[in-house]
Structure 1
Amino acid sequence: MSSVQPISTVPIQKIKAGPLPDRYARGWHCLGLTEKYKDGKAHSIQAFGTKLVAFKGEDGNVSILDGYCPHMGADLSLGCVEGNTVTCAFHHWRWGSDGACKAIPYARRIPPKARLKSWPVVEQNKLLFVWNDPEGNAPDPTVAIPRIAACFSDKWTDWKIEEWKINTNVRELVDNLADMAHFGPVHGQKIDYFANVFDGHVGYQMARGGHETLSDGELVADDAYFGPAYHITRMCANVGGNILNSILLNCHVPIDQDHFILRFGVIVEKNPALSDAENEAVADNYITLTQNAFHQDVEIWDSKTRVDNPVLCDGDGPVYQLREWYSQFYTDAAEVKKSPRNVFEWRREVGTWSQREDIPPEAVSDLDKI
């Protein structure tokens, strides 16, 4: 006769997931290579729960407007670019880069309300960025995208960028910044040293250790989120007996609260001892390896659930502190509290996390120059 097992009295942790934010993060969002938008065509962009249209005017600048014509709702990306305007394919209303209607072919006057939103745009590192702010404020100059000198040097390859649609909220991606524990199970990476620094609008990650596929020895990776959505990694690895320096782009643009576009790109420093063809081959191979490694995360994000109350152990990183740092981008600018720099460290020889306020000596001295 089988016996009935007694019900455990140990409390069970139930996963909690509150409502998703009713806004999208304040800050610069990367839309990929600038040249993509300079072909003379109108480009459709699904972002921030709506549709935008991007186009290059005859002045050489890329403009981004709300993507639906306020006249009768047509998709402006179906129209054509004329001068510094985009012309609606439905009734040929012409919209300028400032969002104002410039001409209506069958009207004697333009209605005063004939205006749509013009989104702030900036070009940096050969990439195009659009500014989102739910309060409608202009871009904050103190959070400008930093220039990467390598992007303009013939000693480095050009960006190679892949785009993926990820079926979850963007927070799942950002959590990776503090998730040291996943590097071994997911990427086969042995971490010897790991640190997070949360300093104003910038969130850093520093990792040192081996990697099964990306390095034959120690892999050094210094990462930084500059704002909510633009993430750069400077990486140094030993590949085939040669030191290989690379810079990784990891940026996202929310389509809506349950989907985002992830752009993952790489540039590689050329080896002066190799020919251009050989450098391209090395770069292509390493770019494929890094993209494959990143896609290991994507496979998990696409199927996991959102957890607002994760059960953490003493070996986990500062996940809650990361989320607190990230919440500033969803808070009205006037209500963002200035917090002291927070540094969290983990060392293999110690096996525990510690907290400090100064930048650790293991970190490179010029993180701001990534």
Structure 2
Amino acid sequence: MTADGNQTGYKTGYKIESRPLEARYARGWHCLGLADGYRDGVPHTLNIFGRRLAAFADSTGAIRVIDGYCPHMGADLSTGTVQGDNLVCPFHGWQWGGDGGCKSIPYCKRVPPKARVGAWETCEQNHLLFIWHDPEGRPAPLEVAIPRIDACFSSDWSDWAIDEMLIRTNCRELVDNISDMAHFGTVHGAPVDYFANLFEDHKATQLMIGRSARLSGDAQLTALSTYFGPAYHITEMIGQMGDQQIHSILLNCHVPIDLNSFALRYGVLVKKIPGLSEEQNRAMAQAYVEQAKQAFYEDVAIWDSKIRIDNPLLCEGDGPLYQMRDWYQQFYTDVEQVRPSSVARRIFELNPGNIEPPALRHVFEA
């Protein structure tokens, strides 16, 4: 310090840690959007998990996903054609089945024994297509199956209204939101009165009670959200539009393109309001999609300029971010190496609005 009281020199602060990203993608089911969108008779290009894949529907309507490059001469199979149950290479006409095997070669009677490409496990649920990814090559266990949403099959609800956007950052930035209570008020203008997290096995659940001018007006907004695995996130929300209560189910799912970008799909089901036409109910669902889009862009504006930080400096009102990341790390760890503490049942509560807390056992186990 100088004689006149001014400070001199650089004062060290909290040291931010940001480790290099591991070249690995999460184990789990990843949503690829509406299943019917792949049943148009042509192959679809998938740039996911740092590689090129090809998706197509066979003659039964089952959607198959195989590695995207032909091992013969390297052509992009996703630019080929679908013939019956096979995907035909555009370069030399080799035909590849959904199981990854080469079924025929137009100019050769004998198919080489090594003629095989990787075939990916898929499933359909709630009218959505999912692909299973596991760095160890294990099949999907039954306990992580995507749960059925009854509203998807009810005439009392709208169909999915879904949109998609490209996010140029690592997908952990998105998943952090499940525990980041403080950002809702600052970024989204939705102050929180009550907030809780439950982590257990492959699921992470958030209960939020607060207010949102966009989604509930002057009324209370209640949102119960769960990640089923690392990348498929469903929220049941009760809000308000004018004097009408709105019951909606939100889809927030992502699939990594590479380590520094992911495709985000977001959508909504809205319970139809009696007295409104089908067109009016569809318009209401689409309006919710647009509001979700605006909210995601508010996050994107932050992600575009922030850095990745592995040791965030937290205060008591921030939410259990470290515990969430401990839960999330299980999907980047070999199955035999997952720590029991990472999948143990843990509940955390914050009550900044000092409201009467809900009965968490009833809410989380409903």
Please indicate, yes or no, whether the TM-score normalized by the shorter chain is above 0.5: yes
- Does the CA-based 8 Å contact 1:196-1:205 persist in structure 2? yes
Distance 2:128 2:322 in 1: 31
Q: Distance in 2 between matches of 1:182 and 1:91?
A: 54
Of stretches 9-18 and 314-323 in structure 1, the one that deviates more from structure 2 is 9-18
- 1:36-185 aligned at under 5 Å gives the runs 36-185=37-186
Aligned to 2:299: 297
Distance in structure 2 (CA, Å) of the matches to 1:344 and 1:364 = 12
CA contact (8 A) 1:180 1:317 kept: yes
Paired letter, 1:328: Q
**Could you report, residue by residue, the CA deviation over 1:140-175 in whole angstroms, capped at 9, with x for unpaired residues?**
111000000111111111111111111110000000
In percent, how many aligned pairs have the same letter? 52
Q: Offset of 1:299 from its aligned partner?
A: 2.1
The answer to whether the 8 A contact 2:194-2:353 is kept is no
What residue number does 2:287 align with? 285
Task: Report if the CA contact (8 A) 2:193-2:354 is conserved.
Answer: no
Paired AA for residue 135 in structure 1: E
> Which is worse superposed, 207-216 or 172-181?
207-216
1:151-209 deviation digits (Å, cap 9, x = unpaired)? 11111111111111111100000000000000011111121100011011000000001
Query: Quick one: distance in 2 between partners of 1:74 and 1:85?
Result: 16
Residues in 2 aligned to 1:259 and 1:5: alpha-carbon distance in whole angstroms = 45
Between 1:58-67 and 1:302-311, the stretch displaced more is 302-311
1:108 Cα shift?
A: 2.6
Ranges in structure 2 where 5+ consecutive residues have no aligned partner: none
Q: TM-score, normalised by structure 1?
A: 0.93
Q: Which AA in structure 2 matches 1:102?
A: K
In structure 1, what is the Cα distance between the partners aligned to 2:353 and 2:32? Answer: 41
Query: What is the Cα deviation at residue 294 of structure 1?
Result: 2.6
**1:39-87 CA distances to partner (integer Å, 9 max, x unpaired)?**
0100000000101000000021000000111111110011000111100
Q: Distance in 2 between matches of 1:101 and 1:320?
A: 47
- Contact 1:200–1:338 under 8 Å retained in 2: no
Range with greater deviation from structure 2 (266-275 or 326-335): 266-275
Once the two structures are superposed, residues 269-312 of structure 1 have per-residue CA deviations (whole angstroms, 9 ceiling, x without a partner) of: 10113222332233232332232223211222233210011111
Per the alignment, in what secondary structure is the counterpart of residue 362 of structure 2? coil
Two-structure CA RMSD over aligned residues (Å): 1.9
TM-score in terms of structure 2 length: 0.94
Point out the more displaced range, 208-217 or 320-329. Answer: 208-217
Aligned partners of 2:185 and 2:229: how far apart in 1?
27
Tell me if structure 1 keeps the 8 A contact 2:193–2:210: yes
Relative to structure 1, is the Cα distance of residues 308 and 194 closer, same or farther in structure 2, using a 3 angstrom cutoff?
A: same
Alpha-carbon distance between aligned partners in 1 of 2:317 and 2:197, rounded to the nearest angstrom: 14
Match of 1:356 in 2: none
Whole-Å separation in 2 of the counterparts to 1:277 and 1:131: 36
2:352 corresponds, among 316, 325, 348, to 348
> Cα distance, 1:125 vs. partner?
0.4
Three-state SS of the structure 2 residue aligned to 1:212 is coil
Q: Does 1:17 align with 2:14?
A: no
The match for 2:362 is: 365
**Structure 1 letter corresponding to 2:88:** T
Q: Is the 8 A contact 1:214 1:290 kept in 2?
A: no
Q: Is the 8 A contact 2:250 2:269 kept in 1?
A: yes
What's 2:263 paired with?
A: 261
SS in structure 2 of the partner of residue 211 of structure 1: coil
Aligned to 2:226: 224
Match status 1:313 vs 2:310: no
Tell which deviates more after alignment, 120-129 or 312-321.
Answer: 312-321
Distance 2:91 2:191 in 1: 58
For these two proteins, the number of residue pairs brought into alignment is: 361
Mapped to 2, the partners of 1:203 and 1:157 lie a distance apart of 26
- Provide closer, same or farther for how the CA distance between residues 49 and 304 of structure 1 changes in structure 2, counting only shifts above 3 A: same
Unmatched segments (≥5 aa) in structure 1: 352-359
Q: What CA distance in whole angstroms lies between the structure 2 residues aligned with 1:294 and 1:364? A: 30
One-letter amino acid of the counterpart of residue 274, structure 2: P
